[in-house]
């Protein structure tokens, strides 16, 4: 991780405008906590929009009753991470927001997260996006992600399990994680929206690769922390998680890399990641779920994209 040194100016212009987006799918209690966290931020030029993928009408009504003035974009169905967030991004662009802050609905923020991340990007010409350090919600002294690193062909979480260290602004070895990312709107317009064909998982990985191909930089701001509950919507090693994690990295690799690197990704997925999931599922007594991961691998190789109907998976 390479440290970047910057000196904030003493004469600050008016705060850049930010539109924060929270994507929700049938989750009331965690989403409420995230909304309250955003409202408590020490940043006065921030507008919050809740993007609703929820199919449970009662969840939406309960959130509306608690926050009657909250702006909500209601999608007609669960559109996934990419298409759901793209609806919010387009709304943010239309209202002229200079920055777009995308949050999972299970993230709690330190009060100065947004202001510090804005300062980092404003002081780093060519930066497209940044993230705070992400900590475990239930173990706040340990890092969950300080960005990602490419490890034997897969973008794994960088510094996972390490103690929280406040080291200023850093460059991640590979990319950023999607649970709390601040995007410069002009960079989002140049790089493009999230790839909706992925539906769920690795959308931010794909976006970061595309941004770097356009010579944008990415940053991790280690002096501020977001606390992440991790997989409250998908569930760790759940059916959807296993399918999309198996499929989408292969789709992203095929899309963004030349043949040799793609084949390396494919080989390491089968020889390293497949045994990893076998071991974890066996320990949980859920070995039968490996079929969803294998279906994802098969569909990734075939180039199948979009929302999968996993109920029909054999």
pLDDT at 235: 61
Examine the pLDDT at 6 and tell me if it is beyond 50.
no
Average pLDDT, the chain: 93
CB 265 within 8 A of CB 250: yes
Q: How far apart are CA 164 and CA 142, in angstroms?
A: 5
pLDDT at 3: 52
Residue ranges of domains in the chain: 15-228, 239-309
Q: How far apart are CA 245 and CA 158, in angstroms?
A: 17
CB 241 within 8 A of CB 284: no
Q: How far apart are CA 22 and CA 48, in angstroms?
A: 8
- Strand ranges (DSSP E) for the chain? 2-4, 18-24, 46-52, 71-74, 99-104, 107-109, 127-136, 139-145, 148-151, 154-157, 169-171, 180-184, 217-228
Closest CA to 187 of 133, 121, 251: 121
Examine the pLDDT at 204 and tell me if it is beyond 70.
yes
Q: How far apart are CA 265 and CA 105, in angstroms?
A: 30
- Convert the pLDDT of each residue in 9-60 to its tens digit: 555 568 999 999 999 999 999 999 999 999 999 999 999 999 999 999 999 9
- Convert the pLDDT of each residue in 249-295 to its tens digit: 999 999 999 889 999 999 999 999 999 999 999 999 999 999 999 99
What fold characterizes domain 15-228?
Answer: Spore Coat Polysaccharide Biosynthesis Protein SpsA; Chain A (3.90.550)
Using 50, 70 and 90 to split pLDDT, how confident is the model at 230?
A: confident
Over residues 60-67, the mean pLDDT reads 95
């Amino acid at each position: 991780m390479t440290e970047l040194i910057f000196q904030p100016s003493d004469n600050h212009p008016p705060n850049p405008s930010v539109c924060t987006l929270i994507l929700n799918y049938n989750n009331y209690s965690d989403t409420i906590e995230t909304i309250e966290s955003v409202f408590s931020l020490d940043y006065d030029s921030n507008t919050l929009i809740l993007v609703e993928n929820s199919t449970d009408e009662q969840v939406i009504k309960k959130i509306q009753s608690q926050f009657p003035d909250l702006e909500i974009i209601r999608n007609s169905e669960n559109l996934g991470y990419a298409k759901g967030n793209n609806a919010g991004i387009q709304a943010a662009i239309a209202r002229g927001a200079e920055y777009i802050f995308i949050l999972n609905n299970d993230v709690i923020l330190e009060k100065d997260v947004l202001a510090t991340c804005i300062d980092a990007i404003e002081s780093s010409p060519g930066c497209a996006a940044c993230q705070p350090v992400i900590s475990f919600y239930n173990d706040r002294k340990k890092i969950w992600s300080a960005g990602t690193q490419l490890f034997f062909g897969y973008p794994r979480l960088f510094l996972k399990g390490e103690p929280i260290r406040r080291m200023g602004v850093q460059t991640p070895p590979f990319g950023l994680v999607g649970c709390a990312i601040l995007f410069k709107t002009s960079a989002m317009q140049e790089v493009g929206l999230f790839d909706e064909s992925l539906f769920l998982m690795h959308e931010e990985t794909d976006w970061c690769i595309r941004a770097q191909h356009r010579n944008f930089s990415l940053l991790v701001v280690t002096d501020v922390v977001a606390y992440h509950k991790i997989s409250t919507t998908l569930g760790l090693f759940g059916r959807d998680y296993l399918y999309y994690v198996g499929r989408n990295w292969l789709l992203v690799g095929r899309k963004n890399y030349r043949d040799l690197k793609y084949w390396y990704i494919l080989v390491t997925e089968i020889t390293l990641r497949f045994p990893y999931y076998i071991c974890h599922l066996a320990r949980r007594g859920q070995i039968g779920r490996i079929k969803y991961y294998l279906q994802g691998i098969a569909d990734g190789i075939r180039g199948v994209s979009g929302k999968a109907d996993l109920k029909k998976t054999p």
